[in-house]
Structure 1
Amino acid sequence: MKSSSDQRHLTLGLMVHPDRPVLDSVQVIIRFAHRTGAAVIARECDAERVGPDVVTVPDEEFVDVVDGVISLGGDGTMLGAMRLVVGRRVPVLGVNHGHLGFLIEVAPSELEPALERMAEGRYTLEPHSCLEADDVTAFNDIVVTAAEPLSSLTLDLEVNGLRHGYYRGDAVIACTPTGSTAYNYAAGGPVISPSAPAFALTPVAPMSGISRPVILGKDDHVVLRNPSGDVPMLFSVDGTSADPLQPGAELSVRLRTDAVDIVRFDADTHLQRNRVKLSLLDLPLRPDQLVELIPQPLREQAERLRQTFPQDPR
């Protein structure tokens, strides 16, 4: 997003959660836009959730005209916004109306000052890679599973045109550095630094064949092939079901680096908070260190409560 002198030419696009209330945040954004001369639009499918003050446009027009996207929801909404603008280098700002919010730095109470910081150019852009598999894009992961519940799959692996054996187990996860802290992490896979141009393949509950995670580079081309003659497999993209992987069909997977830029204000604090959420800290933190990870508005609220209800000295 541009500096304050360019704000009058900005068009901000809103992506909103399908059912969580976000109108308070929408109104904050509208006031900011009126004050700076920016325009605010949303997709036609979100018209009821953003209210009558926001102009709505068809999806294809939305992607073509936005200069920045503000995601109001959780990580799922954020991932949808990222997939929508992949390759356009349109900055995406996340506002957490969800739960954990690994991708999202800004709480709704922090939105107004965040917009002011953006207008002043006091932010950085954090590039994120994605996986491209045939006609789908994943910023977290692609997961292949058996079509029948409680059944195992057999999946052949090919890397850069060479056969590398097969997987047999519950599932196979292909994940980006961003997605390495999701299902991949729960399955015992490696956590990959966001700065690494790499992706991982992790088997879930392997029974035979390849039994350990593998990390691959940005130039590696992976093919996952269904060797069955009659049994389809299922696969999902960022947690959303995709078309089945039919018998004999293959999934061609590559890493695309620098696919989307996410707006960051304090990348170090955001990383520390995510470490706490994942319980990845090597050493316990002192109370004063934990306090530093709490968003400022919550710290102020806690201090007001402490002053209002002082502890009983007994």
Structure 2
Amino acid sequence: MHDGKRIGLVLHPTRACGGAAAQVAAWTTSHGVELVAAAADVERLHLQGVTPVDLTELAAVDGLIALGGDGTLLGAMRLVAAAPVPVLGVNFGRLGFLTEVEARELDSALTAMAEGRSTLEVRSCLVVRGPGWEAVAFNDVVLARVPGQGQVEGVLSVSGRRYGRYRCDSLIVATPMGSTAYSYAAGGPVLSPSVQGVLVTPSAPMTGISRTVMVGPAEPLQLEITGGRPAMEVDGVYSGECTPGDVLEVTTRPDAGLLVRIDDSRAADRSRVKLSLLDLPLLPDELVELVPGELRPPHP
């Protein structure tokens, strides 16, 4: 991304990221790089030094910087999935498993990229197709029970062969990168993002398959809805409802995403700590309050 001529910003819709956007704008100006963002974000935050563009033009940049949380980063990756470019995630959220740097590390990350002290990691995505539509997910596709509409019931087929059936509150199809999200909360395993494969995890199963199934990346999946009217979420974004008789086809697209990794980053160490925190009765902010003030990390 450091040698790109046009970098785009993808911003969280509600969090205060204007200061960080100004930091990026100052950096791009000093390095002769044009900075662009969605016109609505430029207007909403009154951004200076940022060119307003539509989403089609935003997807045609040399790299993206996502200011928000994991959802913002995933949205940025989906935006450029058809023609992947490097994406740097900056955490302004609560956990930020997927983001590379915290907000206070933005300046040093920009410097590292300018000096070539960064690498790229490739990520696969799921492509899910239904009657007349197609969607892309880097974390997971979830079929979730809608109150009053019955449990999620379906039949799983792998490579054209019937594998088994489900009756559960939710059915989660996840990538290895998404293994730490809903699939993990439902009892699924944590996988390294470098692993190839697809996880299928039921949440609160009553009958049928009750454990996580992992299949290879080249094995297409088919989910036939046989009961209930589940809501579908793609990377946590509501994408409509399914009805009995609907058939969802899920395949893997390799090399669909490029994540920026900063040399000597502590992101992996932080993610391991954050994963452990999920099993504690305290939230991260509550744990910080237990640390003496002089030992707390500075905030921007």
- Give the TM-score taking structure 2 as reference length: 0.87
% same residue: 44
Q: What is aligned with 2:62? A: 67
1:1-314 superposed matches below 5 A: 1-2=1-2, 6=3, 10-47=5-42, 48-49=44-45, 51-64=47-60, 66-134=61-129, 135-149=134-148, 151-228=150-227, 231-266=228-263, 269-279=266-276, 302=295
SS in 2 for 1:277: helix
Q: Return closer, same or farther for 1:217/1:126 CA change in 2, 3 Å cut-off.
A: same
Q: Return closer, same or farther for 1:139/1:173 CA change in 2, 3 Å cut-off.
A: same
Larger Rg: 1
- Any gaps of 5 or more consecutive residues in structure 1? 282-293, 306-314
The structure with higher relative contact order (CA 8 Å, sep 6+) is: 2
Q: CA deviation at 1:227?
A: 2.0
Q: Is the 1:221–1:253 Cα contact (8 Å) retained in structure 2?
A: yes
CA distances 1:142-181 after superposition (whole Å, capped 9, x unpaired): 1112333584221111111011121011111000111100
In the alignment, the residues of structure 2 paired with residue 280 and residue 199 of structure 1 have an alpha-carbon distance, to the nearest angstrom, of: 25
SS in 1 for 2:81: coil
Q: CA deviation at 1:238?
A: 0.9
CA RMSD of aligned residues (A): 2.5
CA distances 1:239-284 after superposition (whole Å, capped 9, x unpaired): 1111211221111111222211111114773222111111199xxx
Q: Structure 1 runs of 4+ off > 4 angstroms?
A: none
- Give the TM-score taking structure 1 as reference length: 0.84
SS in 2 for 1:263: strand
Matching residue's letter, 1:76: G
Q: Is the 2:220–2:251 Cα contact (8 Å) retained in structure 1?
A: yes
Q: CA deviation at 1:45?
A: 2.3
In the alignment, the residues of structure 2 paired with residue 50 and residue 93 of structure 1 have an alpha-carbon distance, to the nearest angstrom, of: 22
- Any gaps of 5 or more consecutive residues in structure 2? 279-287
In the alignment, the residues of structure 1 paired with residue 264 and residue 140 of structure 2 have an alpha-carbon distance, to the nearest angstrom, of: 22
In the alignment, the residues of structure 2 paired with residue 127 and residue 301 of structure 1 have an alpha-carbon distance, to the nearest angstrom, of: 39
CA distances 1:276-306 after superposition (whole Å, capped 9, x unpaired): 111199xxxxxxxxxxxx9xxx9x963899x
In the alignment, the residues of structure 1 paired with residue 296 and residue 233 of structure 2 have an alpha-carbon distance, to the nearest angstrom, of: 44
Q: Return closer, same or farther for 1:158/1:280 CA change in 2, 3 Å cut-off.
A: farther
Q: Is the 1:15–1:70 Cα contact (8 Å) retained in structure 2?
A: yes
Q: Return closer, same or farther for 1:35/1:224 CA change in 2, 3 Å cut-off.
A: same
Of residues 83-92 and 268-277 in structure 1, the stretch that sits farther from structure 2 once superposed is: 268-277
Q: CA deviation at 1:225?
A: 0.6
Q: CA deviation at 1:50?
A: 5.3
Of residues 155-164 and 263-272 in structure 1, the stretch that sits farther from structure 2 once superposed is: 263-272
Matching residue's letter, 2:275: L
SS in 2 for 1:254: strand
Q: Return closer, same or farther for 1:200/1:301 CA change in 2, 3 Å cut-off.
A: same
Q: Is the 1:26–1:50 Cα contact (8 Å) retained in structure 2?
A: no
SS in 2 for 1:242: strand
Q: Is the 1:143–1:237 Cα contact (8 Å) retained in structure 2?
A: yes
In the alignment, the residues of structure 1 paired with residue 294 and residue 29 of structure 2 have an alpha-carbon distance, to the nearest angstrom, of: 29
In the alignment, the residues of structure 2 paired with residue 44 and residue 85 of structure 1 have an alpha-carbon distance, to the nearest angstrom, of: 17
Q: Which has the higher helix share?
A: 1
Q: CA deviation at 1:139?
A: 1.0
Q: Is the 2:145–2:170 Cα contact (8 Å) retained in structure 1?
A: yes
Matching residue's letter, 1:277: K
